[in-house]
């Protein structure tokens, strides 16, 4: 890389980082192509009669031509610019960045599962339908709920499914209720989902203990409330102690309890949402059940449903009769269903991975998963609370929340602190979320980190906290120094959006 | 347990530092009545890797994989060859196990590949901008309709009978749940559809598909003009993305929003998911787009780099005022698309598309020779509709025993339209061979 004239980027390093040799500037694929070069070989065309109805594409598309070795090197180099769970501790709160077992990848690629067309005759896909049914059994058993809707592609998609089912259930009762209650600490998807469904969102403030303020909540309850959307454990990493009382109050006014299951990892195998009074809850298979995050997706968001809501579940779903498994795909066979939410049957590739994960762990393993996830988070909380400011007293669940009071008057912000962590080879915690504390730092270690890794992280965090308090502001303001790029200008990106490469564009 | 690094010695040491006696003490905030006494007895205990392989391998063995026999299935999911290097690169942990690129300094790999993806999608569709992917084509289509509602401040979607029924049904679900109207024209084998006649001042958008569900090709240029003069947007759907290598792109026809299913490039059939939705539009509508966008910028040292941008549209910033509730995209499937399309390039994609069309055209000619069978399409890309003298589902069931996956009976998707009962959708890709087509035709002759 050309670093001439850029003395702000030190060549030495003060970190444990191993990234120094990989600071590669890789041009875009469009800047590397050449006409007539190609990375695939194809057989010659047979003689044929063209039937394009005069709609043959004119001119060139503009795609670059590259050979296979060039493409492989390009994307290998790009990959080297990423932090990942495989390579780095990645304690991103609310995201459950746990190890992604490679067995799951292997099984998801079995031709008998990966190479199935969704519209094959059902007689030829009995194993696939059985797999969906088996995964559904695990999800129902782990949550104690009687039904599960499988097709949704992600958590927010699951939220939409569950809330649409609630809206349909109200309509079936002949009621129109417009209000949805959600804590101020909720994920942004909760209010966005409720609003998309036409509900008016009312925010419930948190009390001094980081939980739903029960008095305010009860005062807001009434016959116009359709549902509460509550994450539990909540986004402060705390268990809502009053959950059962909340559920009873919600049900007493004829409303429904939607639980955001994003944090299910803290309780999986130990606590069943059904025992807490939940009516619907989505489960992010890409969080709790370790399907890979893949740089942002794909996910999968099955929704467990109460008996009452089950009849509104979306299409399609798997049923078993004396002839085996079959799919219910049409509204005529499920008259109260909210309808179809996506193409085909669901995120099969994620189902296979999640099931492999569940079978690997078993009931005893999953019990240990939530136990270790909570233990690891509390270990971090206990090891850092004397040098950083914990927002709430412990114990926490699977994530530990700090705020920026310990940085007061140091000139160092939560963002600076996070960027300094990058130089140490750690992916930062979630920053500035939840919104209920100032300068939030939400640390979720997950159960797949060793004590040695946690100790290394804790040592770095303690040292950084001390550096900030002792006035070494430059360390933070110049961070990150060891990453391929440093502090990208997000304002510029939004003010003058450049969303694609165009020919002749300056590099 | 192989995925859990903590030992009992670790746990004891850690509990000591925390100052509690047991892990159970960390769950004190959970009501006692909701705490299970131990692992659930109704679920099995943990298994060795090979035991899990045995169970899931057993389930896989109960299926007939499309690659194990001749397959002519399409209808929105297409079996194309994916080069080995695509999957090898996807398995790199730096791609596979990273999160949404919220820390751009350590996510340039994901971000640059998304920027390349957006550029490729814009080029293919002939549109000005594209986002960083959606769940799948059907959800992208419903999001396009809702985007059109926001832009036009109207609430009526006019949907062609040529739209894939799953896409139409997802639009309907969103309409029922969120409150807008859908006027869905009936599916028809007639080559002319009266779309323009149904546009009025309430129409927010017109949704059409190319090639349509029955495989026919359309030029929507005139329709785009009619939409424009009525203040409605034209949404063009593409369910077979490889077709864009050979067919005039929707952007060149005047489409306002283009959505596509990107599975056909880089991604397995996977029994229907995960797939990858492509979403492109005119630049003037970019701030009404759903989903993530990656943009170019510079870093503190003036070097080019990429970040997620225009996130003030999104739920994590705007909450109840967001353009969509979407958070997750289909990142890894988008990466597969981008790598495969990089391998193909201009020449490879064009050749691949021509090969698909040539093979399909050859098969259509062969089927047309069979007495009693009629190929309904005058035009098509790699999929066409065959009219049989008896219900298509019966043929498909018989062929499955051979085994040949003979196509998708239209009745699978339209069970209540007796006039469509004898129609079979037949798709052909580069993976089909002439011998397979000959066997198919011989059997057809025997059974007719």
At residue A501 the predicted structure's pLDDT band, cuts being 50, 70 and 90, is very high
Mean pLDDT on A60-75: 98
DSSP type of residue B191: S
**Mean residue pLDDT across chain B:** 96
CA distance B199 to chain A (A): 25
Residues A151 and A288 in one domain: yes
Query: Is A6 part of a structural domain of the chain?
Result: no
pLDDT of residue A22: 52
At residue A8 the predicted structure's pLDDT band, cuts being 50, 70 and 90, is very low
Residue of A nearest to B433 (CA): A46
Name B413's Cβ contacts closer than 8 Å, sequence gap at least 6: A119, B75, B164, B165, B166
Residues A215 and A238 in one domain: yes
Asked if A337 and A309 touch (Cβ cutoff 8 Å), the reply is: no
Domain-ending residue, one of A319, A342, A358: A358
At residue B312 the predicted structure's pLDDT band, cuts being 50, 70 and 90, is confident
Q: Could you give the count of Cα atoms lying within 13 Å of B147 in the half-sphere of its Cβ?
A: 30
**Cα B80 to Cα A211, B263, B356, distances in angstroms:** 51, 9, 10
Q: Among positive and negative, which fits the CA dihedral A446, A448, A451, A456?
A: negative
Residues A367 and A250 in one domain: no
Interface touch B412/A119, C-beta < 8 Å: yes
State the CATH number of the domain containing residue A396: 3.90.1150.10
Residues A291 and A375 in one domain: no
Mean pLDDT on B42-71: 98
Q: Cα separation of A381 and A390, whole Å? A: 7
Tell me: pLDDT of A6 over 80: no
Residues A217 and A237 in one domain: yes
**Mean residue pLDDT across chain A:** 94
pLDDT of residue A23: 57
Tell me: pLDDT of A494 over 60: yes
pLDDT in tens, B249-277: 999 999 999 999 999 999 999 999 999 99
pLDDT of residue A21: 52
Q: Cα separation of B154 and A40, whole Å? A: 46
Residues A354 and A370 in one domain: no
The 10 Å CB-count burial string (b at 16+, else e) for A376-403 is: bbbbbbbbbeebbbbbbebbbbbbbbbb
Query: Is A446 part of a structural domain of the chain?
Result: yes
pLDDT of residue A85: 97
DSSP type of residue A315: B
* Bridge partner list, A231: A260
Domain-ending residue, one of A327, A358, A389: A358
Query: Is A54 part of a structural domain of the chain?
Result: no
Indicate the SS3 state at residue A322: coil
Size of interface A-B (CB pairs under 8 A): 733
**Cα A307 to Cα A146, A152, B106, B321, B432, distances in angstroms:** 6, 19, 45, 32, 46
Mean pLDDT on B56-65: 98
Name A398's Cβ contacts closer than 8 Å, sequence gap at least 6: A96, A233, A237, A263, A265, A266, A370, A373, A374, A376, A377, A444, A446
Please report which helix (H) or strand (E) contains residue A280, including its range. strand A280-282
Tell me: pLDDT of A20 over 70: no
Residues A244 and A118 in one domain: yes
Residues A410 and A263 in one domain: no
Write out the residue range of the structural domain in which residue A430 sits.
362-482
Tell me: pLDDT of A15 over 80: no
Q: Cα separation of B348 and A126, whole Å? A: 37
Query: Is A494 part of a structural domain of the chain?
Result: no
- A122 part of contact set with chain B, CB < 8 Å: no
Q: Cα separation of B206 and B60, whole Å? A: 41
pLDDT of residue B323: 79
Asked if B105 and A483 touch (Cβ cutoff 8 Å), the reply is: yes
Residues A390 and A446 in one domain: yes
- In this structure, the strands spanning A179-183 and A225-231 are parallel
pLDDT in tens, B173-190: 999 999 999 999 999 888
Number of domains in chain A: 2
Helices and strands, number each (H, E), in chain A: 14, 13
Residues of chain B above pLDDT 70, percent: 100
DSSP type of residue B315: H
* Closest to B393 measured CA to CA, from B367, B422, B363: B422
- B168 part of contact set with chain A, CB < 8 Å: no
pLDDT of residue B243: 98
Burial class (CB in 10 A: 0-12, 13-18, 19+), B394: middle
ipTM over 0.85: yes
Query: Is A37 part of a structural domain of the chain?
Result: no
- A75 part of contact set with chain B, CB < 8 Å: yes
Domain-ending residue, one of A358, A391, A416: A358
Mean pLDDT on B7-11: 98
pLDDT of residue B325: 81
pLDDT of residue A507: 59
Query: Is A425 part of a structural domain of the chain?
Result: yes
At residue A9 the predicted structure's pLDDT band, cuts being 50, 70 and 90, is very low
Q: Cα separation of B346 and B332, whole Å? A: 23
Smallest Cβ–Cβ distance between B380 and the set A51, A189, A486 belongs to A51
Residues A368 and A352 in one domain: no
Smallest Cβ–Cβ distance between B173 and the set A8, A40, A341 belongs to A341
Between A351-365, A448-462, B314-328, the lowest mean confidence (pLDDT) is in B314-328
**What does residue A201 show for φ and ψ, rounded to 5 degrees?**
-90, 125
Mean pLDDT on A251-265: 97
pLDDT of residue B328: 78
Interface touch A128/B59, C-beta < 8 Å: yes
Smallest Cβ–Cβ distance between A101 and the set B3, B60, B358 belongs to B3
Tell me: pLDDT of A179 over 50: yes
Q: Could you give the count of Cα atoms lying within 13 Å of B337 in the half-sphere of its Cβ?
A: 31
Which B residues in the span 223-242 are in contact with A, Cβ-Cβ below 8 Å?
none
Q: Cα separation of A81 and A23, whole Å? A: 8
Reported pTM? 0.96
pLDDT of residue B316: 77
Asked if B250 and B115 touch (Cβ cutoff 8 Å), the reply is: no
Tell me: pLDDT of A17 over 60: no
Asked if A453 and A446 touch (Cβ cutoff 8 Å), the reply is: no
Query: Is A127 part of a structural domain of the chain?
Result: yes
A141 vs B contacts (CB less than 8 Å): 40, 42-43
Residues A336 and A379 in one domain: no
Name A256's Cβ contacts closer than 8 Å, sequence gap at least 6: A166, A169, A226, A227, A228, A250, A279, A280, A309
- B56 part of contact set with chain A, CB < 8 Å: yes
Helix axes B392-401, B434-447, angle to 10 degrees: 120
pLDDT of residue A185: 87
Q: Cα separation of A360 and A362, whole Å? A: 6
Query: Is A49 part of a structural domain of the chain?
Result: no
Which A residues in the span 336-365 are in contact with B, Cβ-Cβ below 8 Å?
338-350, 352, 355-356, 359-365
CA distance A283 to chain B (A): 14
* Bridge partner list, A15: none
CA geometry: angle B11, B16, B22, nearest 5 deg:
60
- A23 part of contact set with chain B, CB < 8 Å: no
Domains of chain B: 66-80+346-447 (3.90.1150.10), 84-340 (3.40.640.10)
Tell me: pLDDT of B383 over 70: yes
- In this structure, the strands spanning B408-409 and B374-375 are unpaired
Q: Cα separation of B302 and A486, whole Å? A: 9
Q: Cα separation of A22 and A17, whole Å? A: 11
Tell me: pLDDT of B172 over 50: yes
Mean pLDDT on A458-484: 96
Mean pLDDT on B332-355: 98
Interface touch A298/B95, C-beta < 8 Å: no
* Bridge partner list, B205: B157, B233
pLDDT of residue A18: 37
State the CATH number of the domain containing residue A223: 3.40.640.10
Please report which helix (H) or strand (E) contains residue B334, including its range. helix B331-368
**What does residue A147 show for φ and ψ, rounded to 5 degrees?**
-145, 160
Residues A391 and A474 in one domain: yes
């Amino acid at each position: 890389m050309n670093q001439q004239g850029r003395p702000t980027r030190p060549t030495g390093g003060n970190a444990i980082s191993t990234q120094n040799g990989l600071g590669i500037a890789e041009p875009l694929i469009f800047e590397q192509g050449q006409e007539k070069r190609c990375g695939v070989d194809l057989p010659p065309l047979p003689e044929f009669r063209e039937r394009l109805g005069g709609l043959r594409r004119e001119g060139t598309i503009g795609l670059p031509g590259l050979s296979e070795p060039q493409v492989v090197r390009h994307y290998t180099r790009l990959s080297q610019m990423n932090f990942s769970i495989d390579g780095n501790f990645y304690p991103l709160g609310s995201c459950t960045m746990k190890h992604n077992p490679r067995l799951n990848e292997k099984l998801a690629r079995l031709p008998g599962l990966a190479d199935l067309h969704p519209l094959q005759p059902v007689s030829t896909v009995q194993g696939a339908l059985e797999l969906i049914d088996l995964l559904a059994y695990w999800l129902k058993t782990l949550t104690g709920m009687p039904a599960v809707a499988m097709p949704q592609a992600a958590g927010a998609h699951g939220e939409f499914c569950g809330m649409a089912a609630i809206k349909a259930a109200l309509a079936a009762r002949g009621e129109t209720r417009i209000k949805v209650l959600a804590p101020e600490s909720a994920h942004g998807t909760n209010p966005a989902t409720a609003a998309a469904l036409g509900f008016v969102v009312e925010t419930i403030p948190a009390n001094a203990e980081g939980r739903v303020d029960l008095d305010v909540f009860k005062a807001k309850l009434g016959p116009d409330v359709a549902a509460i959307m509550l994450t539990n454990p909540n986004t402060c990493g705390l268990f809502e102690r009053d959950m059962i009382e909340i559920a009873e109050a919600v049900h007493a006014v004829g409303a429904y309890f939607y639980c955001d299951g994003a944090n299910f990892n803290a309780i999986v195998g130990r606590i069943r949402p059904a025992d807490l009074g939940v009516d619907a809850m989505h489960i992010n298979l890409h969080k709790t059940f370790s399907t890979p995050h893949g740089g942002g997706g794909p996910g999968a968001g099955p929704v467990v449903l109460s008996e009452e809501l089950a009849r509104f579940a979306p299409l399609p779903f798997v049923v078993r009769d004396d002839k085996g498994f079959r799919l219910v795909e049409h509204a005529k066979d499920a008259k109260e269903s909210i309808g179809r939410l996506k193409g085909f049957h669901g995120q099969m590739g994620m189902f296979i991975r999640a099931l492999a994960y569940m079978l690997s762990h078993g009931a005893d393993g999953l019990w240990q998963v939530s136990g270790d996830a909570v233990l690891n988070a509390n270990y971090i909380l206990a090891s850092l609370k004397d040098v950083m400011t914990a927002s709430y007293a412990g114990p926490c669940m699977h994530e530990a929340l700090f705020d920026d009071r310990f940085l007061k008057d140091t000139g160092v912000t939560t963002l600076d602190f996070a960027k300094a962590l990058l130089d140490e080879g750690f992916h930062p915690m979630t920053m500035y979320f939840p919104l209920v504390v100032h300068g939030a730092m939400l640390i979720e270690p997950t159960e797949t980190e060793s004590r040695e890794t946690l100790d290394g992280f804790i040592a770095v965090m303690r040292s950084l906290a001390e550096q900030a308090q002792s006035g070494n502001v430059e360390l933070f303001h110049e961070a990150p120094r060891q990453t391929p790029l440093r502090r990208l200008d997000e304002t510029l990106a939004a003010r003058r959006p450049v969303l694609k490469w165009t020919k002749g564009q300056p590099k | 347990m192989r995925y859990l690094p903590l030992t009992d010695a670790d746990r004891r040491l850690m509990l000591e530092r925390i100052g509690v006696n047991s892990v159970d003490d960390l769950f004190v905030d959970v009501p006692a009545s909701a705490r299970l006494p131990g692992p659930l007895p109704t679920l099995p205990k943990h298994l060795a890797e090979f035991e899990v392989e045995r169970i899931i391998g057993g389930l896989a063995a109960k299926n007939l994989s499309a690659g194990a026999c001749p397959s002519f299935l399409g209808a929105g999911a297409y079996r194309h060859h994916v080069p080995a290097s695509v999957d090898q690169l996807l398995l790199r942990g730096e791609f596979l196990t990273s999160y949404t690129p919220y820390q751009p300094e350590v996510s340039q790999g994901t971000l640059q590949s998304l920027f390349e993806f957006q550029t490729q999608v814009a080029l293919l569709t002939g549109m000005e901008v594209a986002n960083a992917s959606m769940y799948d084509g059907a959800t992208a289509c419903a999001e396009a309709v809702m985007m059109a509602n926001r832009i036009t401040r109207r609430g009526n979607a006019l949907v062609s009978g040529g739209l894939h029924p799953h896409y139409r049904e997802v639009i309907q679900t969103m309409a029922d749940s969120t409150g807008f109207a859908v006027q869905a024209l009936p599916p028809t084998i007639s080559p002319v559809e009266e779309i323009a006649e149904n546009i009025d001042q309430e129409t927010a958008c017109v949704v059409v598909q190319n090639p349509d569900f029955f495989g026919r090709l359309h030029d929507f240029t005139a329709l785009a003009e009619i939409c424009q003069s009525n203040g409605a947007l034209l949404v063009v759907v593409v369910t077979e993305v490889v077709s864009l290598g050979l067919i005039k792109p929707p952007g060149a026809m005047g489409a306002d929003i283009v959505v596509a299913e990107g599975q056909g490039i880089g991604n397995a059939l996977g029994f229907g998911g995960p797939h990858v939705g492509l979403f492109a539009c005119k630049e003037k509508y970019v701030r009404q787009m759903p989903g993530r966008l990656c943009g170019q910028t510079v870093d503190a040292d003036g070097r080019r780099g990429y970040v997620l941008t225009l996130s003030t549209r999104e739920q994590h910033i705007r909450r109840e005022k967001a353009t969509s509730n979407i958070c997750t995209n289909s990142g890894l499937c988008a990466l597969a698309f981008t790598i495969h399309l990089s391998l193909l390039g201009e020449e490879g994609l064009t050749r691949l598309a021509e090969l698909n069309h040539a093979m399909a055209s050859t098969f259509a000619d062969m089927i047309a020779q069979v007495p009693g069978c009629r190929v309904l399409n005058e035009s098509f890309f790699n999929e066409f509709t065959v009219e049989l003298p008896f219900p298509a589902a019966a043929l498909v069931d018989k062929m499955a025993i051979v085994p040949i996956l003979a196509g998708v009976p239209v009745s699978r998707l339209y069970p209540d339209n007796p006039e469509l009962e004898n129609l079979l959708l037949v798709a052909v890709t580069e993976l089909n061979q002439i011998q397979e087509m000959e066997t198919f035709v011989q059997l057809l002759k025997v059974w007719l």
